[in-house]
Structure 1
Amino acid sequence: MRSARHQKKKRRLKKRAIFILFSLFTVCIAGAAYFYSQYKDAFSKSNDDTAIAQTEYDFDGKKDKYGNTNILLLGSDSRGEEHARTDTIMIAQYNSKNSKPKMVSIMRDSYVEIPGHGMNKINAAFAYGGPELLRQTLKENFDIDLQYYAILDFQGFVKMVDIAFPEGIEIDVEKRMSKKIGVTLEPGRQMLDGKELLGYVRFRQDAIGDFGRVDRQQQAIKAISDQIVSVDGITKLPKIVGAVSPFVNTNIGVTDTIGIGKDILSGGSTNIESLRIPVDNGYENRRVDGVGAVLDLDLDKNKTALHEFLDQ
């Protein structure tokens, strides 16, 4: 009698376990379907004749010696045209051990040795040999390994912001801005749409010029990160990836992109640490015949600062 009750109880537990597993499986399938539908919906809205030309680039990248994933981020108005320089050069780092994101901005006028081409502004490396030559240039000058690259078209940036964040991105605009950016921005904390945010990050018509522009680029990225965390978190990632995909030329797969973003958000380390190269007191302003105004780097000082920042 007792054995029969025991067997009956085991069968009930087994059925319950099967039901729970089936329910979890159903939720996972539904979640995956939702993620995919969000990605495809945003992708279809973005994928029109303004999408970036998907030129295939060779890129001999790898993880750094500490196992970190370093991504070369490039921003350009060229939309794939040949021999274009890059307006924005950044390194984004993802540490899989602590899910800690970091970001480095490389000033485009930094005067460095470009393999096979001599001394020039660092953004000329892309015009000479695409992201691979820029990777080699960063490796030769700063001994930094890069695994992936991503080239974002600025007009795609506008559309991505408008699709993924229809209410805009909150920015504290520090001064009135209008010259050569296509919009007029008044001072104060406000929600910026894609065109306004692009104008904000491109403004450089003041006393600090390109240095201010680089600072605003970093602020905008941090603001977008904060918006993701505060509004929808992980569930918004497929929509963002789908919106930006037609405007990004990259060797990072969609699954890896969402996976890295999910790990960063779920890991709790959403605060992005940032650095600018050259560092303060690590350069001199100089004019070079045939090149123009450059930032003549104290290479050892900047290399040390970069490694102290990324190798932690």
Structure 2
Amino acid sequence: MEENTRQTRNQKKKKLRKGRFIITILLLAVIATSIYVYAQYKSGLEMASDTKIPVEDFQPDEFKERVETYLIIGVDARGTEKSRSDTMMLLAWNHDTNDMKLVSFMRDIYADIPGYQSYKLNTAYYLGGVPLLKATLNEMFDLPVHHYALIDFKSFETLIDILAPNGIEMDVEKNMGGEIDVELKKGLQQLNGKELLGYARFRSDAEGDFGRVNRQQKVIEALKDEMLSPTNVKNFPKLVGAAQGYITTDLTSTDQLSTIFKAIAGNGELAIEKMTIPAEGMYKFANYRHAGSVLEIDVEKNKQLLHDFLQLQE
């Protein structure tokens, strides 16, 4: 009887020691992971120190509907000189359905820019930065803008290389070169940051700016897939740190960014619906001495199409 009791006690002691050992290993793993995450975050943050493009007087529209919008702007100069916006997209997040939709605005749209003569849409950023581009979209399309993210293309290259050090898979539809500073061959391949940027900016073919916008949307789709890939989780801390320096945005709260990432992650494969403004058949080409070749659009028809696509409440 005493022997059985002794054996039972020994077994309990062994289980207790084993349990303590497992807990210790788990704690060490958590500590090691935390140190790694923090070190990578700091590394990314230091890479991008003092690189943000300053933005003044951005006044977000009041968020009172179910659709929250994010204006994404890509420029080709970093604060050293005035630049036109090369990329203008609007990401819309429907909180009711957790769907996301992406709208690309052609930069040659002949736009009514508040306080100025009509010019190409990308001139709004040149004349008044993010606030004036936002005001132009507000007035032309009755479009609310709740947040913005502004990135220089050189910074875009670096962020891509952090997210996917081995490159991002793209099916390049034709040989590309010339003004994009890289030479790309037709076919499926892994593109680094500089090559991916060149692919997104290429427009030296018959499709012109329309083809460029389509490629930009393909790049966004590829980036979404990379961010959802488990193999890239280890790169996230450094990416988040670098993004805080390389991307200028009104989203200053970590909680805000975490909410967006959780929504994306919780959306499974997350199919992003895409459209381009102007829509097919709702524009014509024109030429003005002060603005050059432009797209004159049917504003009312494009606005209605845009509202229907984004499911904005009237």
Instruction: Flag whether TM exceeds 0.5 (same fold).
Output: yes
TM-score range, shorter chain: 0.7 to 0.9
Return the match for 1:42 from 41, 44, 55.
44
Amino acid at match of 1:297: I
Rounded Cα–Cα distance in structure 2 between residues aligned with 1:298 and 1:35: 50
Q: CA RMSD for the aligned pairs?
A: 2.5
User: Runs of 4 or more off by more than 3 Å in structure 1?
Assistant: 26-38, 51-54, 231-239
**Greater Cα offset, 200-209 or 222-231:** 222-231
- What are the ranges of 5 or more consecutive residues in structure 2 without an aligned counterpart? 1-19
Which residue in the other structure is 2:201 paired with?
202
1:135 lines up with 2:118 in the alignment: no
1:301 corresponds to 2:288: no
1:113 aligned partner: 112
Unaligned runs of 5+ in 1: 1-18
What do residues 192-232 of structure 1 show as CA deviations (whole Å, max 9, x unaligned)? 00111011001110001111111111101100111121334
Say which SS state the counterpart of residue 175 (structure 2) adopts. Answer: coil
CA distance in 2 between counterparts of 1:187 and 1:284 reads 31
- Within 2, Cα distance between the matches of 1:132 and 1:163? 30
TM-score, normalization: structure 1? 0.84
SS of aligned partner of 2:107: coil
Q: Helix, strand or coil: the match of 2:60?
A: coil
- State how 1:175-254 maps to structure 2 within 5 Å: 175-232=174-231, 237-253=236-252
Q: 1:232 to 1:38 in 2, by over 3 A?
A: farther
Which stretch shows the higher mean deviation, 230-239 or 251-260?
Answer: 230-239
Shift of 1:244: 2.6
Is structure 2 residue 154 aligned with structure 1 residue 147?
Answer: no
TM-score by length of 2: 0.83
Distance 1:220 1:139, change over 3 A: same
Alpha-carbon offset, residue 254 of structure 1: 5.0
The CA distance in 1 between the partners of 2:53 and 2:259, in whole Å, is 23
SS in 1 for 2:275: strand
Whether the 8 Å contact between 1:76 and 1:153 is mirrored in structure 2 is yes
CA deviation map 1:77-134 (0-9, x unaligned): 1102353211111111122333322111100110111111131111111111111111
Look up the SS of the partner of 2:218 in the other structure: helix
| Residues 234/58 of structure 1: CA separation in 2 closer, same or farther (3 Å cut) | farther
Shift in CA distance, 162/72, structure 1 to aligned 2, threshold 3 Å: same
Deviation readout 1:289-311 (Å, 9 max, x if unpaired): 21100000011111011111111
Contact 1:238 1:258 in 2 (8 A): no
Equivalent AA in structure 1 for residue 132 of structure 2: L
Q: Is the 8 A contact 1:150 1:250 kept in 2?
A: yes
How many residue pairs get matched?
A: 288
Cα distance in 1 for partners of 2:259, 2:38 equals 13
| Matched residue, 1:287 | 287
Aligned with 1:118: secondary structure?
A: coil
Given the superposition, is the C-alpha separation of residues 305 and 235 from structure 1 closer, same or farther in structure 2, using an over 3 Å criterion? farther
Residue 7 of structure 2: aligned partner: none
Residue 229 of structure 2 aligns to a residue in which SS?
helix
- Per the alignment, residue 14 of structure 2 pairs with none
| 1:102 corresponds to | 101
After TM superposition, the structure 1 stretch with the greater mean CA deviation from structure 2, 81-90 or 103-112, is 81-90
Which residue of 2 is the match for residue 167 of structure 1? 166
Q: Which amino acid aligns with 2:106?
A: M
Deviation at 1:28, TM superposition (A): 8.8
Indicate conservation of the 8 Å contact 1:228/1:236, yes or no. Answer: no
Say if 1:99 and 1:269, in contact at 8 Å, map to a contact too.
Answer: no
Contact between 1:177 and 1:203, CA under 8 Å: does it hold in 2? yes
Percent identical among aligned pairs is 41
Mapped contact 1:177–1:185 kept (Cα < 8 A): yes
| Cα distance in 1 between the residues matched to 2:201 and 2:51 | 19
Distance, in Å, in 2 between the alignment partners of 1:182 and 1:299 is: 35
3-state SS of paired residue (1:223) = helix
| Structure label with greater radius of gyration | 2
